[in-house]
Chains A and B, each alone.
Chain A
Amino acid sequence: MADNGNVRKVYEILEKQLNQPLKTALEVCARCGICAEACHYYVSEPKVEHVPAYRAEQVRKIYRKKYNFFGKYIPSLVNAEELDEQKFNELVEMAFSECTLCRRCTFNCPLGVDTPLVMRVVRAMATASGKAPEILVMLADSAIAKGENPEIFKEMFIQQVSELEKELKELTGNPNAKIPVEKEGARVLYVGLAGAHTIIPPAIIFNEVGEDWTLSIYEAANYGVFLGDVERAKKIAKRIIDEAKRLKVQEVIVAECGHACNALVWEAPNWFAEKFPFRVRSIVELVAEYIQSGKLKVNPEANSEPVTYHDSCNLARAGGILKEPRLILQAVVKDFREMTPNGLENYCCGGGGGLVALPEYYEKRMRAGKPKAEQIRKTKAKIVAAACENCKLQLNDLNNYYNLGVEVKGLVDLVANAILYNRQKISANENQQANVST
């Protein structure tokens, strides 16, 4: 790579993002290889390119060339390398298709080396130099366009919500069930994803507990995060933060979406250097609270088939949301079976880091999802629950690819099913009593 604009941009990004955690990740590695077995890519296909330490080392080489004294003058002494076009293309391919940013390697590394942080920087470099996957850029830019021009979709969105509200009333048998939009002063702003499946089940739950809520006109997904592009990610998050401030809500509740939760709950306060005047949580945490406080009464008989739970890497490893999904499942499922390993040690499904949106990597992500497929098969569960949209899309693909014979559902789907089951039972009892009295 001649010293053209791209090289300059790559090093500019590296310089800009070179904070202490990144420096540590680029300086520290014991070369013990423990991270190999921690990576679902390596477990599925054991080759050196799939060892997280190997991936990070490819970036360390170019880092040393610029930031290490010997790297600058006697590069062979410290394994430093000049960046060229081919190497950069390989780095980009690796960062977008051979690392899902799941951080299982970091948790298993004796030194806590954050290889996904290094991969994020490569993603940022790729985005800055126009080499990031076009689809991720386009999805991020579409979300930004919504924030800049809400008039292009708002009327249609509100019309769609009124259709969904009719469906909600039919499903619940409650003529007063509502999906409020832009309700100022509501306690909760719920941020769904594009699609009815992320609106109806939470709406059933909110109406059941009598929550004072309103639906965001935006979707929680943040493709800026997958691009490693903080500027885009901030613009996408800002739409929701501004909406929450405008409506003066007390809580923003994020749909079942791992990276969106990560972005809004943990990253956004740092991006904006601000303590928001509202709390931000995952819907998983809120629903667990409803159940724990007795506000939501559910019947595990509603979901009688064996269910296993896939921990989203963003919720579990990044967010520590481990107990809440299990509390929900114990309440709404008759036969809950853990997969092994689970929780912090759970394997990534292989679809994280934006991979499910990149059709060109379908075969790669199916291979990377093999450990997950085997975990699921061993449980003999009929339903796989997950609280992340990316995971659900990937699990559905794995189900078809590996003939697992399972159904993939969200936690909120199971909770909503348990609510509807209770309602049907109550209604059947009332009919029976009415028949007896006549």
Chain B
Amino acid sequence: MTEQMKVDLVLDLKGLLCPLPIVKLSQAIKDLPVGAIIEGIATDPGVMADVPAWAKASGQELISIEQRDKEYRFLIKKVK
């Protein structure tokens, strides 16, 4: 994912359990300008359901979310 798109912030969410990945993501996105892209890397499979729902509720754009071995990676674009 990172090879194809310029990522402004990589968020290491490994080892964090619900709701902390979403809490960290919400905190991090606040400090970024509109248009910035965050890549999140988590180990809790809960993010596969929580991140799309968070994007929907917060109005941010979920570019992609996928599993790579034991990690879950997602790209979020700040749109507002």
Interface residues of A (CB under 8 A from B): 134-135, 138-139, 141-146, 149, 152-153, 156-157, 159-160, 163-164, 193-197, 219, 221, 223, 357-359, 389, 393
Contacts and interface: CB of A to CB of B under 8 A. Distances in A.
Nearest to B72: A160
Nearest to B46: A194
Main secondary structure of the interface of A (DSSP, over half): helix
B45 A195 contact: yes
Given A357-B23, A359-B27, A194 B18 contact: yes
B65 A195 contact: no
A357 B54 CA distance: 15
Nearest to B56: A145
Contact of B44 (A138, A196, A223): A196
B9 interface: no
Nearest to A396: B17
A153 B44 contact: no
A299 B57 CA distance: 46
Interface in B23-80: 23, 26-27, 44-50, 52-54, 56-58, 65, 67
A397 to B, nearest CB: 11
Given A195-B44, A393-B17, A152 B26 contact: no
A163 B48 CA distance: 13
Contact of A142 (B45, B57, B65): B57
15 contacts: A135-B27, A138-B57, A139-B19, A141-B58, A143-B53, A145-B53, A153-B53, A156-B65, A160-B67, A163-B67, A195-B45, A195-B46, A223-B19, A357-B19, A389-B18
B76 to A, nearest CB: 13
Contacts of B1: none
Given A160-B45, A194-B44, A152 B52 contact: yes
Contacts of B58: 138, 141-142
B20 interface: yes
B27 A141 contact: no
Contacts of A194: 18-19, 44, 46-47, 49-50
A161 to B, nearest CB: 9
B79 to A, nearest CB: 15
A-B complex: 3 closest residue pairs judged by Cβ atoms? A194-B46, A194-B18, A153-B49
Nearest to B25: A138
B19 A157 contact: no
A144 B19 contact: no
B22 interface: yes
Contacts of B50: 142, 153, 194
A199 B18 CA distance: 13
Contacts of A393: 17, 20
